[in-house]
Amino acid sequence: MHNFFLSIIGLFFSQVISAELLKNVEITGNKRTKKEAIIQHGQIKIGQELSVEDLATIKENLGRIGQIHIKNVDFKDGVLRIEVEDKWTLFPVPMITQSGAYQNRGFLIYDDNFLGTLGTLAPGISWSNSILNYLLYYQDESLFTPQYGIKFLLMKKSDFVEFKRFNNVIDEHESRYDSYLITPNYLYKEQVFKAGPVYIDKSIYKNNIRIFRDKSKGIFFRHHWNSFQALEVMYEGFVTTYDLYALKNQNGKMVYLNEANISWSIPTNKSFLNFGLHGYHSNEHTYLFAKDLGGDEGFRGYDKASFPTSQNVGGLIQYQQHLFHRFFLSPFYEYNNSLLIDPVLSGKRIKENTVGLGLRYYFKKISIPAVIFDAARNIEDKSNHFHINIGVSI
Q: Are 342 and 331 in contact (CB under 8 A)?
A: no
For residue 368, the model assigns a pLDDT of 66
For residue 354, the model assigns a pLDDT of 93
Average pLDDT, the chain: 85
Alpha carbons 309 and 321: distance in angstroms, whole number: 32
Nearest alpha carbon to residue 358 among 385, 335, 392: 385
Alpha carbons 141 and 323: distance in angstroms, whole number: 35
Q: Torsion-angle region of residue 195: left (phi > 0), alpha (psi -120 to 50) or beta?
A: beta
- Rounded mean pLDDT, 88-113: 86
- Rounded mean pLDDT, 115-139: 92
- Rounded mean pLDDT, 19-23: 86
- Rounded mean pLDDT, 341-352: 85
Measured distance between the N- and C-terminal CA atoms of the chain, rounded to whole angstroms: 67
Name the E strands within 8-101: 20-21, 24-28, 49-50, 68-76, 79-86, 93-99
Does residue 15 have a pLDDT over 50? no
- Rounded mean pLDDT, 25-38: 90
Q: Are 315 and 334 in contact (CB under 8 A)?
A: yes
- Burial annotation 366-380 (CB, 10 A radius, 16+ → b, else e): bbebbbbbbebbbee
- Rounded mean pLDDT, 270-274: 91
Name beta bridge partners: 260.
Answer: 242, 279
For residue 242, the model assigns a pLDDT of 94
Alpha carbons 134 and 95: distance in angstroms, whole number: 11
- Rounded mean pLDDT, 178-200: 91
Peptide bond before residue 92 is cis, with ω within 30 degrees of 0:
yes
- Rounded mean pLDDT, 34-45: 88
Longest CA–CA separation in the chain, Å:
88
Q: Quickly state the pLDDT bin for 8 (edges 50, 70, 90).
A: low
Q: Where are the domains of the chain?
A: 2-86, 93-391
Q: What is the CATH number of domain 2-86?
A: 3.10.20.310
Q: Are 71 and 84 in contact (CB under 8 A)?
A: yes
Alpha carbons 288 and 280: distance in angstroms, whole number: 11
Strand 191-206 vs strand 209-230: parallel, antiparallel, or unpaired?
A: antiparallel
Alpha carbons 208 and 52: distance in angstroms, whole number: 64
Alpha carbons 25 and 318: distance in angstroms, whole number: 42
Name beta bridge partners: 239.
Answer: 226, 263
Q: Quickly state the pLDDT bin for 236 (edges 50, 70, 90).
A: confident
216-234 pLDDT, tens digit per residue, is: 999 999 999 876 665 667 7
Does residue 271 have a pLDDT over 60? yes
Does residue 163 have a pLDDT over 60? yes
Q: What are phi and psi of 37, to 5 degrees?
A: -65, -40
Alpha carbons 41 and 58: distance in angstroms, whole number: 10
- Which amino acid is present at 67? Q
When comparing pLDDT for 293 and 48, which is higher?
48
Rounded to 5°, the CA angle 298-178-144 comes to: 80
Does residue 66 have a pLDDT over 80? no
For residue 16, the model assigns a pLDDT of 46
For residue 11, the model assigns a pLDDT of 47
Distances (CA, A) of 239 to 5, 60, 71, 80, 192: 44, 15, 23, 29, 11
Q: What is the CATH number of domain 93-391?
A: 2.40.160.50
When comparing pLDDT for 14 and 251, which is higher?
251
- Residue 4, SS3 per DSSP: helix
Lowest-confidence pick of 25-39, 96-110, 183-197, 295-309: 295-309
Alpha carbons 212 and 203: distance in angstroms, whole number: 5
Q: Quickly state the pLDDT bin for 294 (edges 50, 70, 90).
A: low
Nearest alpha carbon to residue 229 among 61, 27, 368: 61
Does residue 287 have a pLDDT over 60? yes
Strand 24-28 vs strand 79-86: parallel, antiparallel, or unpaired?
A: parallel
- Residue 13, SS3 per DSSP: helix
Q: Quickly state the pLDDT bin for 253 (edges 50, 70, 90).
A: very high
